[in-house]
Each structure stands twice: as structure tokens, then as C-alpha cells.
Amino acid sequence: MDKIFLQGMKFYAYHGVFEEENKLGQIFVVDVQLSLDLTEASETDELETTVNYGEAYHLIEEEMKESSKLLEHVAGRIAKSLFAHYNRVVALSVRITKENPPIAGHYDGVGIEINRTR
């Protein structure tokens, strides 16, 4: 299966179970991979035969703006939105990383990844 990816998108948002996370917000890093057949796009060179990266970015951005307690919930909304807008996409993964959660310790980030198939 062919893939399109949007990698390292950064959004300032308000997600978390702790009150300070919802007041202060933080940066989240989002990676999305879309699985679809890109044969037609590779042969025709026409945008309507693939996924418009800019449009997909804005769909993801809209979901990141809506506050949630759980990153799982945010990722689920992103998946539903992308499936609703792109019939060509047959599977996808959404990875959201919180680089500075309110957890004592040393790490590069914590987060979730969901994988969905139509």
C-alpha cells in the first residue's frame, strides 16, 4: 500500500487531565500516515487523484484546536475527520507526542499512536 505522511506538525493546544495543562497549554507534535493507492496520481499528475497535503493539515489543525482530556480522543477525532474527507484513504495512523507533560523524569516525550482501517 502506498503512503502519504505529514510529519512533525506542531500545534499549541490545551489537552490534558490536569488543570494547569488546560490553562497553560503546550506544544504537541503530530505525525499522520495515510495509506491509499497512489497509482492513478503517479500516472495522471492530477491533484484530485490523491490527498491535498495542505487541506489535510488544516483538518488536523481544526481537531487539535478542540480541547480534550485524552490524546486518544484527539487522535480518534483526527482519524474520523480524515476518513470523512478522503474516500481514497483505506488506513491511517495518528501519532501525538506531548514533549513536556507534567510528569517528573527525563524523556523526549510521551504520547499515543492509533491505527485505523476503513
Query: What amino acid positions are annotated as catalytic residues?
Result: 98
Helix (H/G/I), strand (E/B), else coil: 67:
coil
Edge-first strand listing for the sheet containing 26-36: 2-13, 26-36, 91-98, 110-117
How far is it between the farthest Cα atoms of the chain? Answer: 52
The residues, any chain, with a CB within 8 Å of residue 48's CB and separated by 6 or more, are none
Place of cell 505525525: 31
How far apart, in whole angstroms, are the C-alpha atoms of residue 59 and residue 118? 18
Place of cell 492509533: 114
